[in-house]
Chain A
C-alpha cells in the first residue's frame, strides 16, 4: 500500500462519482433536446460542454492509467453503475 496506490484509488473514486454525474446530465440533456424546448444556442453550448467534459475525463483517466471499466462499479443485485462498454468511443 504505497503512496501511489492510495492516490490512484482516491482518483478512481472521485472520477467514478464525476463520471456518474456526467453521464446522468448527458441523458437529461438528451431528454431536453428531444422535447425541443431549448434554443438552438442552448443545445449548441450544452453539446459542446458535454463533449469537452468527456474529453477531459478521458485525459484524466489516461493520466492515472484507468480504463472506463475501472470507473464502473459492480453494484451486485443493482447491476452496474454505468452501462457496460460496447464499442462506445
Chain B
C-alpha cells in the first residue's frame, strides 16, 4: 500500500490521517475474537470519523 504521488515520497501516517479526516471516513465491520473456537469478544462497528468543519459542510446531508 503506497500513497499516490512521486515514488519514494514518504507520507507520514499522521498526514494521511489528516487528509482522511478532512474528507471524512466511514468504517464498518464485524470483529470477533476467538480462542480455541470459543468466541470471547464481538465488536460490531459502524463509525464515522470526520473533522468538525467537514461535518458541517454537507457530508452528513
A-to-B contact residues, CB < 8 Å: 20, 23-24, 27-28, 31-32, 35, 37, 75, 77-84
Contact = CB atoms under 8 A, between A and B. Distances in A.
A38 to B, nearest CB: 10
A37 B1 contact: no
B21 A28 contact: yes
Nearest to A35: B53
A24 to B, nearest CB: 6
9 contacts: A24-B18, A27-B14, A37-B53, A75-B13, A78-B1, A78-B13, A80-B10, A80-B12, A81-B12
Contacts, number: 46
B14 A32 contact: no
B25 interface: no
A83 B14 contact: yes
Interface of B: 1-3, 10-15, 17-18, 21-22, 51, 53
B18 A77 contact: no
Contact of B53 (A23, A31, A82, A83): A31
Contacts of B15: 27, 83
Contacts of B51: 28, 31
Contacts of B53: 31-32, 35, 37
